[in-house]
Amino acid sequence: MNLVTNIAAQAAQAAKVMAIQSSESKSTLLETVAKMPDIIGAIKEQNVRPNGIKISKMRVPLGVICMIYEARPNVTADAAGLCIKSGNAVILRGGKEALNSSLAIAEVLQSVLIQHQLPKEIITVIADPDRALMKELLQQKAYIDLVIPRGGEGLINFVSENSKIPVIQHYKGVCHLFVDEKADVDKALELLVNGKTQRTGVCNALEGLLVHKNIADEFLPMVAKRFKEYDMKVNGCIKTAPYFEHIKQLAEDEFGEEYLSMEIAIRVVDDMGQAIDHIDQFGSNHTEVICTEDNQKAMNFQRLVDASVVMVNASSRFSDGSQLGLGAEIGIATSKLHAYGPMGIESLTTEKYLVNGNGQVRS
């Protein structure tokens, strides 16, 4: 058995132990996650069939999670803590840029597992960042139940194309703010500035601004003045150009970039329908925001927009597991099976049916 297969097999065995003992063991490193209710083993009653069979469902761990990510060592702690709390084992494969930090964090976490008489292999870090080794890891479908990649487009595509294991994609964040004609312009400006400038290098930062044509004359000069403070690079449609001193005009197919910097794309739209069409074409199913005082429009926007998080009058920066009450997140899923949006403890579990009878047989 080669190195990668051996690691995967050890993690699978550790998961079996973890599933049995998870209700008795707590993670003391991620305090917020640790204080959340234990859900493993929780039973949800369903119904009693006419023949007397009782049906219920029990929440159970997925098993072994393989987390593949790039530079951020905090993912090591977040992913490990969430997997411990949800009764899963985790294999962590981080990038070479933060490998030493990831190994140090994992060593501390493993020491806690040992203190609780749990296998340290519940948290396993791949110490070699070689991509060929990662490709081999993605073949271990006998031992690994789910792969979660977090990083750039190249990493996501590589994992999706090479994995024999189910993958939940945590894809790029091309997030938009749509400023409706019924928007409070001061509120809209603060949502834009916060969503775009607070942290530019994160997936829930705004990359696109859509402005209703009826409010453009009032709102876009405010945007131009505020963006000067940040030396913002502005790209936009031909209708946007008159409002900015320096702007790069975009062709129709040049929208949809994830800039991750002080750069944004702006488009003036005729109505909410055109805004939604733009989001459908150029969004990444991550987070979309509308600013409006029209409750019916807000409701329609939330119903019609295809994204894992759809907000009304709130900053896109709240699209985060800790901000949405999950304690922490293992990532934000932009594919729909079996999780969509920020993934916390519950997203790392599934349910199995429990059927209890008294000798019933099927005729």
Domains and CATH numbers, the chain: 3-168+343-356 (3.40.605.10), 175-318 (3.40.309.10)
In the three-class reduction of DSSP (H, G, I as helix; E, B as strand; rest coil), residue 9 is classed as helix
Q: What is the DSSP string of 34-100?
A: HTSPP-TT-EEEEEE-TTS-EEEEEEEE--EEEEEE-S-THHHHHHHHHHHHTT-EEEEE--GGGHH
Give residue 356's pLDDT.
97
Starting at the earlier edge strand, list the strands of the sheet with 54-61.
43-48, 54-61, 349-356
Q: Which stretches of the chain score pLDDT less than 70?
A: 1-12, 14-29
Give residue 26's pLDDT.
37
CB proximity list for 234: less than 8 A, separation 6 or greater:
224, 227, 240, 244, 246, 247, 248, 263, 264, 266
To the question of pTM greater than 0.95 for the whole model, the response is: no
CA distance 123 to 89: 6
Q: Which residue's entry shows tokens 């051996």?
A: 6
Give residue 157's pLDDT.
92
Q: Phi and psi for 131 in degrees, rounded to 5?
A: -65, -30
Q: CA of 359: how far to CAs of 18, 51, 63, 159, 213, in Å?
A: 33, 10, 32, 47, 69
Give residue 244's pLDDT.
97
C-alpha angle with apex 44: 38 to 48, nearest 5 degrees?
160
CA distance 192 to 206: 7
Give residue 19's pLDDT.
62
Alpha helix locations (H) across the chain? 3-21, 31-34, 74-85, 99-115, 131-137, 153-162, 185-197, 216-228, 272-282, 295-304
Q: Choose among 299, 323, 325: nearest CA to 311.
A: 299
255-260 long-range CB contacts below 8 Å, 24 or more apart? Answer: 255/208, 255/281, 255/282, 256/174, 256/208, 256/281, 256/282, 256/283, 256/284, 257/174, 257/207, 258/153, 258/172, 258/173, 258/174, 258/203, 258/207, 258/284, 259/200, 259/207, 260/200, 260/201, 260/202, 260/205
